């Protein structure tokens, strides 16, 4: 499933990053596979390898995120994936309310591949972590460039400030996997 290219929030433009694309590569009964592609990654700052482990505060550095909400619900889940291979998963009962750690049946696998001017970041996570499909989703990215400069990328943004939890960011749809 192709997701429209992400756009940076106008109040936080990138320095050298030219584009960020995100897509769902596949979804089946076992795995959801996602990919982000960052073009113009020469000045991109990646967190150091830390190993596959749950960690908070990943959004404070380069981080890729998935937000998932049932089409008829207020509650949603947030998944954070770092090039360090750390990850986080949270449940919210409503807009930025009732935050709790989300149980994961297995840790996601995060795989960054960096070239001279491009970063490809793949994530494979258990489909069971999503609870139920179909769902509204938001694929987002926090991009840190040299000098601590951050840009915030999403399919759609609220106008006044970057806020991936805002309903405008749930701008795509993920169908349930078809039976084999």
pLDDT, tens digit, for every residue of 154-178? 999 988 889 999 988 999 989 888 7
The mean pLDDT of the chain is 93
Q: What is the pLDDT of residues 101-160, one digit of tens each?
A: 999 999 999 999 999 899 999 999 999 999 888 999 999 999 999 999 999 999 999 888
Contacts for 125 with CB less than 8 Å, ≥ 6 apart: 31, 32, 34, 79, 104, 108, 109
Is it the case that residue 1 has pLDDT exceeding 60? no
> Which candidate, 80, 45, 40, places its Cα nearest to that of 61?
45
The length of the chain is: 180
3-state secondary structure of 143: strand
Cβ atoms of residues 76 and 68 within 8 Å: yes
The predicted structure's pLDDT at residue 17 = 97
- pLDDT band with cut points at 50, 70 and 90 for residue 4: low
Residue where the block lists tokens 């000045």: 43
Structural domain boundaries in the chain:
7-174
Burial label for 84, CB within 10 Å (0-12, 13-18, 19+), is buried
Quickly count: other Cβ atoms within 10 Å of residue 164's Cβ. 23
Distance CA 42, CA 117 (A): 5
CATH number for the segment(s) 7-174:
2.60.40.1190
The predicted structure's pLDDT at residue 2 = 57
């Amino acid at each position: 499933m192709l997701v429209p290219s992400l756009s940076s929030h106008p109040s936080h433009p990138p320095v050298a990053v030219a584009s960020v694309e995100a897509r769902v590569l596949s979804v089946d009964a076992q795995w959801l596979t996602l990919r982000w592609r960052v073009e113009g990654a020469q000045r991109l700052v990646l967190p150091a390898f830390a190993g596959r482990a749950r960690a908070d505060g990943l959004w404070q550095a380069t981080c890729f995120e998935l937000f998932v909400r049932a089409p008829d619900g207020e509650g949603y889940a947030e998944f954070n994936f770092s090039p360090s291979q750390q990850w986080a998963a949270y449940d919210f009962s409503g807009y930025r309310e009732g935050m709790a750690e989300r149980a994961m049946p297995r840790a996601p696998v995060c795989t960054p591949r960096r070239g001279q001017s491009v970063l490809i970041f793949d994530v494979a996570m258990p489909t069971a972590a999503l609870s139920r499909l179909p769902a509204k989703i938001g694929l987002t990215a926090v991009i840190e460039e040299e000098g601590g400069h951050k840009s915030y990328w999403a399919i759609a943004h609220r106008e006044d400030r970057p806020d991936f939890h805002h309903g405008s960011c749930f701008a795509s749809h993920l169908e349930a996997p078809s039976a084999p």
